[in-house]
Structure 1
Amino acid sequence: MLPERRGDLLILTATLLASAGWLFSKEAITALPPAGFVGWRFLLAALILLPFCQRRLRATSPANLLKTAAIGLVMTLNLIFWIQAVAHSEGIGEGAFIMSLAMLMVPPLTWLLFRERPGRPFWLALPIAVSGLFLLTSGNGLSLSLGQLLFLLASLSLALYFSLNSRFARRVDPMALTCVQLGVTGIMHLIYSALFEQWPAQVPGHVWGWFAASVLLATSLRFFCQSAGQKYSHVANAALIMMLEPVWTVLISLFWYQEPMPPQKVLGCVLILLALLSFRSRPLYEWYRNRRAMRMVR
């Protein structure tokens, strides 16, 4: 198998695991406190990654480690909104599409924080995304449900994390960066859980199974597949595959929770997906054109 094909398959596996992670999380918090679940999930995932990045962590300066941990606090905020949104939503498919809008929230945040004006693809995709979001969330009229509002806040905080992390990630090894940020997120959630949540006296055995799947499959194995896949898969191809995560999540929610998806919501999802594709259209077109040129040379 060609290395690029292997990379694409690994990225596809990562998106499937990420989608399954929505199901694992929602099932786990039926008995576990949400923040406590996220805390142990991410802390254990960080400990699993630690043996593979000890040398890289030692090679990172204390100043960069401190900045890495600070960005991990933004990830903590994002996960607080996200897990609360999952807890207050009947399904997960709608939330996955709302969360996917984080990609379109990055340009205006970057403009606000770093004075980098968004390019033309963003302005073309914006009205399509807004229309899709309106159709997706207008089931309650013009008001948003609590779950929808929390998903929007989670999407905004995720965009903020992307904006900050993309400017800093090049200074630190990716695995070391992820390990530190997962650890910070886990510790902060456990502190939050200790202050504001109460753990049940007994937790059913099957819930621990969902918890284990979240740690081992949806976090650790997913990160490994994504990191390994990005070494071989073209960045534009990887971005296109990763856009499929909300699609897989909707299919899982339809099968597992029988989440209602009337035509209006389906159209909203399609418009959001089209907005993301149009936003990435130029990089994808350039990749296709370069690939076609290489084939013609061969």
Structure 2
Amino acid sequence: MFHKQSYRGELLILLATMLAGIGWIASKLVILEVPGETFVTARFLLASIILLPFCYKQVFALRPKQLLSLCAVGVVLAASIEVWVYAISISNTLSVGAFIMSLAMIIAPFISWILFKVRPPSIFWLTLPITCIGIMLLTLTDGWVVERSQWFFLLSSVLLSLHFVLNKQVLNSVKPLTSICVQLFMIGAVGLIVMLIVSPESASLNSHILFWFAVSTFVATCIRYLSQTLGQFSVKIEKASLIMLLEPIWTLILSVSFLGEVVETQKLIGGGIIILSLFIYIKFQNKPSLTKSVVVSQKS
């Protein structure tokens, strides 16, 4: 019975990665004609309203301290989303952005070390230089010049790492779906504030934009987060993290197919190296034998 639940959970997480890849394309197509702040506000407020019926009792039962913690973590995620949306709006290479965003898994141990004095596992120091090589191949395609959008993707990845670390602390006392609903609402609320300040003008909508907005909201947000949450309930975190590495791969395939993106061989190799480093890190982070060997090699 457990194996059946685990298999179903793996399929749900796989589905979540595919929907996340679709979300990259849908977001880009909407942002081409709608201000990013308007898109963020409408998408995440609507998504939180859709999820609310599934967890409203738990939301209203939250203690003030829990609610405050969730809102604070949601603001961090909102900052990451705002930067991510801006990066998408000025980027011509979504696949590169997706690979850079996947670095959040590598950056998170640094954040945890700084905030909570939790030392990264030894395998982290082995994979870090591999990751750096991947970043260099991925970004430095025109000499030693990094595109402006890539810096914003990196900043968004750092903020997402901070959210990972803080969210893990919050989930110790709050159910995942309740946490997601509140945080999605906070993203929409922050987006509304930014929209009123930056771009209060109204956006013109058409059937094409409404279609991709619906895809982004219902498919890439509501269904995606529900699939990911339900999948993670029955799958070990290491295996779930490995499956989640497929997100930038789907984004690459869809970006080439729908947006006609041309990806140079050097960028493909760089993205592959980043995925390899993340695979090694997730696969061996809890293996004591490898950890000891890395420690010995560092000492010698």
TM-score bin (small chain): over 0.9
2:169 corresponds, among 167, 170, 193, to 167
User: What TM-score results when the alignment is normalised by the length of structure 2?
Assistant: 0.91
How far apart in 1 are the matches of 2:191 and 2:222? 18
Give the corresponding residue for 1:245: 247
- Give CA-to-partner distance per residue, 1:152-211, whole Å, 9 cap, x none: 110111111111111222111111111111101101101111111144553221101100
How far apart in 1 are the matches of 2:282 and 2:68? 33
- Structural mapping, 1:2-151, within 5 Å: 2-151=4-153
| Cα displacement (A) at 1:85 | 0.5
* Equivalent residues of 1:11, 1:230 under 8 A apart: yes
Q: 5+ unaligned residues in a row in structure 2: which ranges?
A: 289-300
User: What TM-score results when the alignment is normalised by the length of structure 1?
Assistant: 0.92
* Equivalent residues of 1:125, 1:279 under 8 A apart: yes
How far apart in 1 are the matches of 2:7 and 2:74? 32
How far apart in 2 are the matches of 1:10 and 1:47? 22
- Give CA-to-partner distance per residue, 1:228-258, whole Å, 9 cap, x none: 2222333322211111111111111111122
How far apart in 2 are the matches of 1:133 and 1:28? 28
In angstroms, what is the RMSD of aligned CA positions? Answer: 1.6
Q: Which amino acid aligns with 1:10?
A: L
Percent identity of equivalent pairs:
40
Q: Which amino acid aligns with 1:21?
A: G
Give the corresponding residue for 1:290: none
* Equivalent residues of 2:134, 2:271 under 8 A apart: yes
| Cα displacement (A) at 1:56 | 0.8
How far apart in 1 are the matches of 2:11 and 2:287? 21
Tell me how many residue pairs correspond in the alignment.
Answer: 286
How far apart in 1 are the matches of 2:212 and 2:253? 19
* Equivalent residues of 2:34, 2:204 under 8 A apart: no
- Give CA-to-partner distance per residue, 1:245-279, whole Å, 9 cap, x none: 11111111111122221111111011101110111
How far apart in 2 are the matches of 1:108 and 1:171? 24
Does residue 193 of structure 2 align to residue 191 of structure 1?
A: yes
Deviates more, 1:258-267 or 1:44-53: 258-267
| Cα displacement (A) at 1:6 | 1.3
Q: 5+ unaligned residues in a row in structure 1: which ranges?
A: 287-298
How far apart in 1 are the matches of 2:8 and 2:278? 25
Structure 1 residue ranges, 4+ long, deviating more than 3 angstroms after superposition: 198-201, 283-286
Q: Which amino acid aligns with 1:25?
A: S
How far apart in 1 are the matches of 2:33 and 2:158? 28
Give the corresponding residue for 2:282: 280
| Cα displacement (A) at 1:115 | 1.3
How far apart in 1 are the matches of 2:194 and 2:236? 39
Q: Which amino acid aligns with 2:189?
A: I
* Equivalent residues of 1:33, 1:198 under 8 A apart: no
- Structure 1 residues 8 and 206: alpha-carbon distance in aligned structure 2, compared to 1, 3 A threshold: same
Deviates more, 1:200-209 or 1:118-127: 200-209
- Structure 1 residues 230 and 156: alpha-carbon distance in aligned structure 2, compared to 1, 3 A threshold: same
